[in-house]
Amino acid sequence: MSNYLKKLIVKPDSKIRLKHFDPDYHSKHESHKSALPEIQENLQRMEQLQYLMYAENKHSLLIVLQGLDAGGKDGVVRHVLTGMNPSGCISVNFKQPTAKEMAHDFLWRVHPHVPAKGSVAIFNRSHYEDVLVARVHDLVPEKVWSKRYDQINDFERLISTENNTAILKFFLHISEDEQLARFKKRLDDPARQWKISESDYKERDYWKDYTEAFEDVLNKTSTERAPWFIIPANHKWFRDLAISQIITRTMEEMNMQLPKPTVNLADIRRKYHQAVAEEKSGQSKKH
């Protein structure tokens, strides 16, 4: 079995170029049918591990999803993270900042959504938009966005060390042809047409600029505490397989344990048997 945790990670201080990564890669599997048993096994294990995380209440997990339009961020939330119990998991979609948010530093709107101990948070787009969209569209000067890489690293170090938060960041890597094919599916499918935006095609004109911006993000902000993974995402099923495996193995490495009971179990058992006996006695009197 391939170890995607090691194979797809961006090592700290890398100098990667995305043209060297094949978005069509799918490892040993040739189809969704072939990969499905492994995906399902990962999802079942993920559910067990999340239960341990919630019960132990010592760790938390932040999952960051980034990619170009139609890269599959919503699909990851929908398909992979069905292995999470909603009571201990939130998904946050960071859209264009509001006027109030823009009156603060760029991380102000992010911090309230980081996961508390015992829980999981998924950022569907994230604080990285402020070194991606803000850079590509000149929303702030270079002297501003260029400082944000270090600020992001400091922020992620803070939540990792102060709140025992594991951070996994996934770049969903698709080709230009695959993006266009997915745009066509949106046009042809009434159930997906609501996703269509005028900006979809305008943003394609900035493909090279976004590629360079993503490369800088991957090279400058993949750290031991908060690594990036380049996920080949032309095949949605491989995307789901790789991400579910990486999440599962990361959670296994936390070595989480169920907490010991905080009550005297022998005393509780006596109370239980007493309650059962009283219930039976009451039913007998009724008859």
Task: Say if CB 67 and CB 105 are below 8 A apart.
Answer: no
Q: What is the pLDDT of residue 285?
A: 67
Question: Secondary structure of the chain: what % helix, strand, coil (to 5)?
Answer: 55, 10, 35
Across the chain, which distance is largest between two alpha carbons, in Å? 84
Task: Say if CB 37 and CB 240 are below 8 A apart.
Answer: no
DSSP collapsed to 3 states, 25-61:
CCCCCCCHHHHHHHHHHHHHHHHHHHHHHHHHCCCEE
In whole angstroms, what is the distance from residue 24 CA to residue 26 CA?
Answer: 6
Query: Model confidence over 85-144: pLDDT tens digits?
Result: 888 999 999 988 999 999 999 999 999 999 999 999 999 999 999 999 999 999 999 999
Query: Model confidence over 232-248: pLDDT tens digits?
Result: 999 999 999 999 999 99
Per cent of the chain over pLDDT 70 is 99
Residue labelled with tokens 């990619």? 67
Q: 90: which 2 tokens?
A: 């939130």
Q: Tell me the pTM.
A: 0.94
Q: 25: which 2 tokens?
A: 């890669």
Q: Which of 85-89, 135-139, 173-177, 223-227 has the lowest mean pLDDT?
A: 85-89
Q: How far apart are the first and last CA of the chain?
A: 63
In whole angstroms, what is the distance from residue 223 CA to residue 167 CA?
Answer: 10
In whole angstroms, what is the distance from residue 256 CA to residue 252 CA?
Answer: 7
Task: Say if CB 230 and CB 32 are below 8 A apart.
Answer: no
In whole angstroms, what is the distance from residue 266 CA to residue 255 CA?
Answer: 28
In whole angstroms, what is the distance from residue 259 CA to residue 282 CA?
Answer: 36
Query: Model confidence over 247-261: pLDDT tens digits?
Result: 999 999 999 999 999
Of residues 194 and 163, the one with the higher pLDDT is 163
Q: Which of 44, 49, 69 is nearest to 59 (CA)?
A: 49
Above 70 in pLDDT, residue 214? yes
Task: Say if CB 109 and CB 100 are below 8 A apart.
Answer: no
Above 80 in pLDDT, residue 282? no
What average pLDDT does the chain have? 94
Burial class of 127 by CB neighbour count within 10 A (0 to 12, 13 to 18, 19+)? buried
